Amino acid sequence: MTQAIQTGDRLLTGIQAFSAWKLSIANEIKRYRLWLHEQGLSSVDLDDRLARALRAFTTDRILLALVGEFSRGKTELINAILGRHYKMRLFPTRIGRTTMCPTEVFYDPQAAAPYIKLLPIQTRSSATPLSSYRRQLEHWAHLDLDLSSTQSIQRAFEEVAKTREVTTQVAESLGFEVQFLESSSKKAGYVHIPAWRHALINIDHPLLRMGLSIIDTPGLNAIGLEPELTLSFLPEAHALLFVLSADCGVTASDFSIWNNHVRDLATRSNTALYAIINKIDLLDDDDALYPVDVQESLARLVRFSAHQLHLPLENVLPLSARQGARAFVHNDNSLYEASRMATLEAALASSVITSRQQALKNVTLKEVIEIVDMSQKTLAEKRVSLQQEYDLFNRNEKDVEVELVGLTRLVRKEQEKHNQRLTLLQEGKVVLEQHLGRVSELVGDEKLEWHFSRARESASSGSMGFGSAAAISIFFQGLKLDLRRLRDEMDAAEQTANKIYQRYTQAMGQMEIKLPFVDIEQYINEFTELEKQAAPYKNRFGSLLANQEKVFDHFFDTLAREAKVIYEKSREDAARWCKQVLVPLMQQTLEGKKRIDEQLKRLEHLQMIDATRDHRLVEISNQLEELTHQESFLLEVSFCLQPVELT
């Protein structure tokens, strides 16, 4: 009798804890926004910032990407990851290719039932990007999916795996590399291509319901076919599983995928990268003529693969997806332990969820906490002001006269300083607006369009192959040159702002204020990374045929969209810095103006203290009591927002 699986799902437990944490933070943000509105302390800018933070905590998802050659067991690995809940193989597996097109598995809360949507392969001939087709559902074939019927699942996935026979010319025009395609056994000059370009699979599963999405790629030809996979989808993944097979190790085609599409992602801080040595059950052969030490062979394979791929040993995980899937079907603990799936579940729970939480904490949550802290400081200042006013109304007449004279002199001095601040800030604003104008000239929309047009002209000039490869290199050189000029401009703007800050602090006799920082170099580095990711396609176009011009157009459109995002982000950051660099000084100036207003108010109170003493004392007491409740509320919100470690 087999023993039932004893170990809990570490990945599910981790995602549940992560989802609960996000929900609790989202609730506190909602409470705080409501409080701001009730107190009349909200503003359009402040509410927009909190709304963005709320969206980050309510729409955040975890994207898991499986990459590798066909027949490495990627589909079975998905079965093993999702198998606990349904106690069955969700997706059929067989010898050879199971997945013929990139496939996304996720949960669609708007759908009434599970489904598969399939995008026809002929959409490759259109200039419309895959990301746009995702919003145009009329182009997709829709299949209902009955998870309670094995036959329904089998029929649906037979459709996903369908191929079409086309001529080699048609295959090339759609972007396929013919040498990787299966030739037709019936028609000379024909090859098999996938019938579908992309598949979307919606199922209701606890992991998927809580934000996990899985994308499965069907081998080298598919990755090379869709530039958006390499340039957009894979860089967005929070975890990338590079799936190998224990019976063949790292093959030449594995290396091709690794070097051209995966390796550079290892340097990204937000992507956890693991090499999965699947099918370790194949190493255990009781009928072998010469028995070997399986564990020693496996350890040697792990060490060698880690060395080949330049990965830490702990990021190379040997397992058997087949044993893992079967273990959940039969609830067999010994089979589950033999599969080593627990190691992968623990690794994903630790690295991916921790990194996602850290990303939210370091940026979004940090911003919210700073906003709440500012509200707490505002209430503290209000308490000091009210207490001072309360003490003032309790003074005798002689003390009031002395303070009236001193306060009048102080107000005049503060007003003089305030006027100096305004003059200095106005002068600084004029100079910085000149830098802002040059930012628009250096990296404006017209400049970007010029780069796009020049690249297309270079690609179409002369022989297609030479023009295409050269055009991509020239394209990136031009973009990076623009950003280097922008960097120099921002260095000059920073020097200008630094002089304004120095004059401000020296003239006002205040402590040094930290100058905000702008980093244009990061965007130059992003262009370098994008160029690396585009390199396999650029090399491929070195021998591009005339009937593949559409392929280049599709690739360049994808590349241009990604480049445009980086280019515009650099411009937005630079422009925002020019507009906001003086904000800390403006805040100081506004606080000074607020002090003057408070002092003027105190002068008014001093002049009429006898007539309003008793009534005002009651008012202040009530305000101080209400202030205590507000301070308690913000203290509670601040406590609930403090980062916690998920275990």
Per-residue model confidence (pLDDT) at position 296: 86
**Residue 543: pLDDT band with limits 50, 70, 90:** very low
| pLDDT for res 482 | 95
Instruction: Please say whether the beta carbons of 365 and 25 come within 8 A.
Output: yes
Going by C-alpha positions, the residue among 192, 222, 271, 183 that lies closest to residue 68 is 222
Mean pLDDT of 178-203: 87
Cβ-Cβ contacts under 8 Å for 269 (sequence gap 6 or more): 355
pLDDT (0 to 100) of residue 291: 57
CATH architecture of 401-590: Up-down Bundle (1.20)
Task: Of 64, 356, 343, 327, give the one whose Cα is nearest residue 205.
Answer: 64
Fold of 61-339: Rossmann fold (3.40.50)
What is the pLDDT at residue 512? 64
Alpha-carbon gap, residue 324 to 317, rounded angstroms: 14
Q: Give the separation between CA 166 and CA 550, rounded to whole angstroms.
A: 17
Residue 119 in this model has a pLDDT that exceeds 70: yes
Q: At residue 82, does pLDDT exceed 80? A: yes
Instruction: Please state which of the ranges 33-42, 92-101, 414-423, 448-457 shows the lowest mean pLDDT.
Output: 92-101
pLDDT of residue 544: 47
334 pLDDT higher than 50: yes
Q: What is the mean pLDDT of residues 164-173?
A: 87
Return d(Cα 376, Cα 638) in angstroms, integer. Answer: 9
The residue behind tokens 């000074």 is 592
Q: How confident is the model at residue 407 (pLDDT cuts 50, 70, 90)?
A: low
- Cα gap 9→499, rounded to integer Å: 58
The DSSP letter of residue 277 is E
* Separation of alpha carbons 231 and 532, rounded Å: 10
Tell me the average pLDDT of the chain. 81
Whether pLDDT at 54 is above 60: yes
Radius of gyration (Cα) for the chain, nearest Å? 32
pLDDT in tens, 252-283: 888 888 887 787 776 665 688 999 999 998 88
Domain ranges (residues) in the chain:
61-339, 401-590
For 563-620, write each residue's pLDDT tens digit.
Answer: 999 999 999 989 988 887 887 677 667 666 766 666 666 666 666 655 556 676 777 7
Judge whether residue 89 has pLDDT over 50.
yes
Position with higher pLDDT, 88 vs 429: 429
Query: Minimum mean pLDDT among 138-147, 367-376, 590-599: which range?
Result: 590-599
Burial of 431 (0-12, 13-18, 19+ CB in 10 A): middle
- Look at residue 117 and tell me whether its pLDDT is greater than 80: yes
Interacting residues of 23 by C-beta distance below 8 A, sequence separation 6+: 57
Q: How many CB atoms lie within 10 A of CB 252?
A: 7
Q: What is the pLDDT of residue 621?
A: 86
**Does position 644 have pLDDT exceeding 50, yes or no?**
yes
pLDDT band for position 464 (cuts 50, 70, 90): very low
Contact yes or no for 100/163 (Cβ under 8 A): yes
Q: Higher-confidence residue: 8 or 114?
A: 114
The pLDDT, as a whole number, for residue 590 is 66
pLDDT of residue 278: 94
The CA distance from 467 to 449, in Å, is 19
Question: For 469-577, where are the E strands, in sequence order?
Answer: none
Q: Quick one: pLDDT at residue 134?
A: 85
Weakest mean pLDDT among 131-140, 204-213, 259-268: 259-268
